[in-house]
Chain A
Amino acid sequence: MADLTTDFIGIKSPNPFWLASAPPTDKEYNVRRAFEAGWGGVVWKTLGEAGPPVVNVNGPRYGAIFGADRRLLGLNNIELITDRPLEVNLEEMTRVKKDYPDRALVASLMVPVNEIAWQTILQQVAETGCDGVELNFGCPHGMSERGMGSAVGQVPEYVQQVAEWCKKHTDLPVIVKLTPNIADIRKPAQAAFDGGADAVSLINTINSITSVNLDNFAPEPTIDGKGAHGGYCGPAVKPIALNMVAEIARTQSMPGLPISGIGGITTWRDAAEFMALGAGNVQVCTAAMTYGFKIVQEMISGLSQYMDEKGMASTSELIGRAVPNLSDWQHLNLNHITKARIDPDLCIQCGRCYAACEDTSHQAITMSEDRVFGVDDSECVACNLCVNVCPVEGCITMETLEPGMIDERTDKVVEKDYANWTTHPNNPGSCAAE
């Protein structure tokens, strides 16, 4: 059986599945239960400065987007950092770490942007025996209005400055948690790298309004008739998070910067995808909040089975495996030509491919009077929309034309050589090798 243990910036855990800093990790009771359920680590719910803790709203903190049968697809929250006294959290962390020495316990921190504040909190958390700290530069609501959270994460200079302070005042590994609410995720990542951070974790939640109540015209979740934007997470954000993780993973100017992948991870497969795109481990929140801690058992068994099937002995063989295959559009092979193929045995004749292609694409799907659907190669650009709207998995596939075959759409012979936009004659900036 594959070895799932991971060593993330020196923090060891029996598996790569950590619970992200969030309500599930807000107190000893939950964290003990999480460890008993099998989670490899937790990032404790974000701690603030000593003194009177923050307060939360007393109405709904969450809003949700549902699929059919109320499957939760996206979750939005307006909860702040821990609203329990710092001392209580520190005492609990100390006890938990003592009882679970093999599990990762990381302290998430958020204090104002001044060196003394960071120095103070770092000293306090170090005494708990925790394995590292995560700087919360991500939360996009509430705390950001007070100059913390994403207000820091959106300014690369602040990110670098705080990272530097933290590296100066602690020996613990420092992870910088990034906000996705920024135009180019590489900028704050680079700042964290330049500031000496040991790793980045991403994504934090995305600015969002889940819905609007069309009776009282208030954004939801609604507190006394008003709403404020929250942070979006859950399965819906996974593609956004995957891209941001991958962009950092492939950027040459921060080589080997470890990444803790976060964003909509719900199953072992999601986790494996993040790891393949460069995440050294993953953090989970919404899936646990939806289904409870037990899901980690599926994640462990699933990742283990997958790695066995692929002959991977340790997670290091998976991490980053897909990064070399992430490219830019301009480098994609324009001589790779495919055509849609509809399997008549699998087709259930719903006609969705036909409607989609006919109404919104290239009029490349034909429909006979007795509802037999076919592909007109002379129109098919292989856009894949038919594949995506087909309700039957595997019914429509893309067939690659072999070199030497004729592409009926262009009447040209399929070339065997790779060629991309950079050398294409239609490209005004073409740098064709003559």
Chain B
Amino acid sequence: MTNSPLTPGIAAARLDAEGLSQNFSDLHPPLDGHEALVAADRCYFCHDAPCMTACPTSIDIPLFIRQIATGTPEAAAKTIFDQNILGGMCARVCPTETLCEEVCVREVAEGKPVEIGRLQRFATDTLMTSGTHPYTRAAPTGKRVAVVGAGPAGLAAAHRLAMKGHEVDLYDARKKAGGLNEFGIAAYKTVDGFAAAEVDWLMQIGGISLNLGKSLGQEITLDGLADTHDAVFLGMGLSGVNNLNIPGGDLDGVADAVDFIKDLRQASDLSSLPVGRNVVVIGGGMTAVDAAVQSKLLGAENVTILYRRDRDAMPASRYEQDLAASKGVRLIFNAMPVEILGDGSVTTLVAEYTASGPDGLTGTGETFEIPADEVLKAIGQTLGPVTGLDLVGGKIATSGSGRSSRAGIWAGGDCASGGDDLTVTAVAEGRDAAEDIHLTLMEG
């Protein structure tokens, strides 16, 4: 090892292989059988359980936990998958601290919720590692549906449609399916190639033909798909990124956090990934936290998250903030970037404190400098080119169960209006749109 966290500039292999491997191991190690029984026993089997209401996919959480407690994790998994076919990934990446576990009566009473996420993982892992797929397809309907985007929304929609007996053509712009599960989530949340394994497992339903490297507006068009299919579901997510319109934004070392995460997720050797000695991440969402924490885990000496609003407004949960802090990431609130300095490559980020007043967020005039050889932008993503559909807030306008403004076209997930940009929300929207497509097609 020639490099260290102190190596100036942007460099790879700041940590040795062992350190990297340790840093990128499972954030929440799986429960073993006994731990699962003990964790399951804490569930009170609440009436009309708050956790179930809080789950965007409405998983019957008390039931699946009872099924674990009675030694049938496979049945528990079926309860989960009935509502959420990506229950395995959601068990890993859901911000349970702001969903089911936040409203668990034991969290409210004792500050220690039932470990719903880890129990869900125990159940789903048990079934998925057995190599079986618990669903079969209904009799063929003769209908063909196009699904654009093989991320959480598209996969959920494709699976449900295939199960209903429809033929599904699933398209994705990338060379690999999985969407943000594969390219966009912190590595330590989904280790050992789980995203790809989950896609393979899900595809066992049959009836889904996967077409990779097909980008909407390029290799495929909405009109073309509509002509050749009985329905179209759009779940391609957000392919653009917002720009940082400040001086120095084009210096070397300024990059998009999503690209940084994508490269990291696809890297076969973490020691080949370059990272700055001083990294500044701009933004306050999960992407910002994922990029910042992973920069630190790759060996950056100093990592700072710069967020323009206060802590409470930060989209990343308090749990995520604390995770970042525990890894040594510095969180700066109420400050925005105003200029990036450097000679060819970035050396310094100049920030200005902010205050919110009647005119919204404004700079206070007081500035400070942060040394930076790498600046990662995590300030939001935008919809790629979509024509012929109404948009709202920069996303595809939908009503009901994901119906777009054009008959025969549904949308869900991050590219569609409504809902939080969460994996679990995307799954719910994909599933519900599939149900609506099925009803619509079978009426006709």
CB distance from A388 to the nearest CB of B (A): 14
B41 surroundings in chain A (CB, below 8 A)? 68-69
CB distance from B114 to the nearest CB of A (A): 11
Verify if B17 is at the interface (C-beta below 8 Å from A). Answer: no
Closest residue of chain B to A354, judged by CB? B47
Cross-chain contact B38 with A350 (CB below 8 angstroms): no
Of the candidate stretches B105-113, B177-185, B260-268, B308-316, the one touching chain A is B105-113
Interface residues of B (CB under 8 A from A): 34, 37-38, 41, 44-50, 69, 105-106, 108-109
Known contacts A354-B47, A355-B47, A391-B44; decide if A349 and B38 are in contact (CB<8 Å).
no
Cross-chain contact A350 with B37 (CB below 8 angstroms): no
CB distance from B112 to the nearest CB of A (A): 12
Known contacts A68-B41, A70-B34; decide if A352 and B109 are in contact (CB<8 Å).
no
B108 surroundings in chain A (CB, below 8 A)? 348-349
Verify if A392 is at the interface (C-beta below 8 Å from B). Answer: yes
Q: How many A-B residue pairs have CB under 8 A?
A: 37
Known contacts A371-B50, A392-B109; decide if A350 and B34 are in contact (CB<8 Å).
no
With A350-B105, A391-B44 known, 12 other A-B pairs at CB within 8 A are A69-B38, A69-B41, A70-B34, A348-B108, A349-B50, A351-B48, A351-B49, A354-B47, A355-B47, A367-B47, A367-B48, A371-B50
Cross-chain contact A352 with B38 (CB below 8 angstroms): no
CB distance from A163 to the nearest CB of B (A): 47
Cross-chain contact A348 with B106 (CB below 8 angstroms): yes
How would residues 218 to 255 of chain A score, 1 for a CB under 8 Å from any chain B CB and 0 otherwise?
00000000000000000000000000000000000000
CB distance from B343 to the nearest CB of A (A): 60
CB distance from A6 to the nearest CB of B (A): 39
Q: How far is the CA of A327 from the CA of B49 in the complex (A)?
A: 41
B46 surroundings in chain A (CB, below 8 A)? 349-352
List the 7 closest pairs (A to B, CB-CB), nearest first.
A351-B47, A68-B41, A355-B47, A348-B109, A350-B46, A348-B105, A350-B44
Closest residue of chain B to A67, judged by CB? B41
Q: How far is the CA of A355 from the CA of B69 in the complex (A)?
A: 20
CB distance from B62 to the nearest CB of A (A): 10
Cross-chain contact B105 with A349 (CB below 8 angstroms): yes
Partner of A68, one of B38, B47, B105, B109: B38
Q: How far is the CA of A68 from the CA of B34 in the complex (A)?
A: 9
CB distance from A367 to the nearest CB of B (A): 8
Of the listed residues A70, A348, A371, the one surrounded by the most CB atoms of chain B closer than 10 A to its CB is A348
Ordered by A's residue number, 19 sampled pairs between the chains whose C-beta atoms are within 8 Å are A68-B37, A68-B38, A68-B41, A68-B69, A69-B34, A69-B37, A69-B38, A69-B41, A348-B106, A348-B108, A348-B109, A349-B46, A349-B108, A351-B46, A351-B47, A354-B47, A355-B47, A391-B44, A392-B109
How would residues 367 to 380 of chain A score, 1 for a CB under 8 Å from any chain B CB and 0 otherwise?
10001000000000
B47 surroundings in chain A (CB, below 8 A)? 350-352, 354-355, 367
CB distance from A282 to the nearest CB of B (A): 30
CB distance from A411 to the nearest CB of B (A): 30
Interface residues of A (CB under 8 A from B): 68-70, 348-352, 354-355, 367, 371, 391-392
Q: How far is the CA of A69 from the CA of B69 in the complex (A)?
A: 11
Q: How far is the CA of A367 from the CA of B48 in the complex (A)?
A: 11
B69 surroundings in chain A (CB, below 8 A)? 68
B50 surroundings in chain A (CB, below 8 A)? 349, 371
CB distance from B73 to the nearest CB of A (A): 16
Of the listed residues B41, B46, B50, the one surrounded by the most CB atoms of chain A closer than 10 A to its CB is B46
CB distance from A373 to the nearest CB of B (A): 9
B45 surroundings in chain A (CB, below 8 A)? 352
Of the listed residues A349, A354, A355, the one surrounded by the most CB atoms of chain B closer than 10 A to its CB is A349
Q: How far is the CA of A348 from the CA of B43 in the complex (A)?
A: 13
Q: How far is the CA of A69 from the CA of B46 in the complex (A)?
A: 21
Q: How far is the CA of A371 from the CA of B49 in the complex (A)?
A: 10
CB distance from B278 to the nearest CB of A (A): 47
Of the listed residues A349, A350, A371, A391, the one surrounded by the most CB atoms of chain B closer than 10 A to its CB is A350
Q: How far is the CA of A392 from the CA of B69 in the complex (A)?
A: 21
Q: How far is the CA of A364 from the CA of B47 in the complex (A)?
A: 15
A355 surroundings in chain B (CB, below 8 A)? 47
A354 surroundings in chain B (CB, below 8 A)? 47
Closest residue of chain A to B109, judged by CB? A348
Closest residue of chain B to A359, judged by CB? B47
Closest residue of chain A to B48, judged by CB? A351
B34 surroundings in chain A (CB, below 8 A)? 69-70
Q: How far is the CA of A70 from the CA of B37 in the complex (A)?
A: 9
CB distance from B45 to the nearest CB of A (A): 7
Closest residue of chain A to B43, judged by CB? A350
A391 surroundings in chain B (CB, below 8 A)? 44
Q: How far is the CA of A392 from the CA of B109 in the complex (A)?
A: 9
CB distance from B95 to the nearest CB of A (A): 22
B106 surroundings in chain A (CB, below 8 A)? 348
Q: How far is the CA of A354 from the CA of B46 in the complex (A)?
A: 10
Cross-chain contact A352 with B37 (CB below 8 angstroms): no
CB distance from B302 to the nearest CB of A (A): 43
A350 surroundings in chain B (CB, below 8 A)? 44, 46-47, 105
A70 surroundings in chain B (CB, below 8 A)? 34
Q: How far is the CA of A355 from the CA of B45 in the complex (A)?
A: 10
Closest residue of chain B to A351, judged by CB? B47
Q: How far is the CA of A354 from the CA of B47 in the complex (A)?
A: 7
Q: How far is the CA of A348 from the CA of B113 in the complex (A)?
A: 12
A367 surroundings in chain B (CB, below 8 A)? 47-48
Q: How far is the CA of A391 from the CA of B42 in the complex (A)?
A: 10
A69 surroundings in chain B (CB, below 8 A)? 34, 37-38, 41
Of the listed residues B38, B50, B109, the one surrounded by the most CB atoms of chain A closer than 10 A to its CB is B109
CB distance from B119 to the nearest CB of A (A): 14
Closest residue of chain B to A395, judged by CB? B109
Closest residue of chain B to A349, judged by CB? B105
Of the listed residues B41, B45, B105, B106, the one surrounded by the most CB atoms of chain A closer than 10 A to its CB is B105
Closest residue of chain B to A389, judged by CB? B44
CB distance from A349 to the nearest CB of B (A): 6
Q: How far is the CA of A354 from the CA of B44 in the complex (A)?
A: 13
CB distance from B53 to the nearest CB of A (A): 10
CB distance from A212 to the nearest CB of B (A): 14
CB distance from A117 to the nearest CB of B (A): 49
Closest residue of chain B to A365, judged by CB? B47
CB distance from B122 to the nearest CB of A (A): 15
B48 surroundings in chain A (CB, below 8 A)? 351, 367, 371
CB distance from A338 to the nearest CB of B (A): 24
Q: How far is the CA of A351 from the CA of B47 in the complex (A)?
A: 5
Closest residue of chain A to B39, judged by CB? A68
A348 surroundings in chain B (CB, below 8 A)? 105-106, 108-109
A371 surroundings in chain B (CB, below 8 A)? 48, 50
B109 surroundings in chain A (CB, below 8 A)? 348, 392
Closest residue of chain A to B38, judged by CB? A69
B105 surroundings in chain A (CB, below 8 A)? 348-350
Q: How far is the CA of A391 from the CA of B41 in the complex (A)?
A: 12
Closest residue of chain A to B107, judged by CB? A348
Closest residue of chain A to B44, judged by CB? A350
Q: How far is the CA of A190 from the CA of B109 in the complex (A)?
A: 52
CB distance from A113 to the nearest CB of B (A): 46
Closest residue of chain A to B47, judged by CB? A351
Q: How far is the CA of A350 from the CA of B106 in the complex (A)?
A: 9
Q: How far is the CA of A54 from the CA of B44 in the complex (A)?
A: 48
Q: How far is the CA of A82 from the CA of B105 in the complex (A)?
A: 52
Q: How far is the CA of A212 from the CA of B296 in the complex (A)?
A: 54
Q: How far is the CA of A103 from the CA of B91 in the complex (A)?
A: 59
A351 surroundings in chain B (CB, below 8 A)? 46-49
B44 surroundings in chain A (CB, below 8 A)? 350, 352, 391
CB distance from A205 to the nearest CB of B (A): 27
Closest residue of chain A to B53, judged by CB? A371
Q: How far is the CA of A367 from the CA of B38 in the complex (A)?
A: 30
CB distance from A121 to the nearest CB of B (A): 47
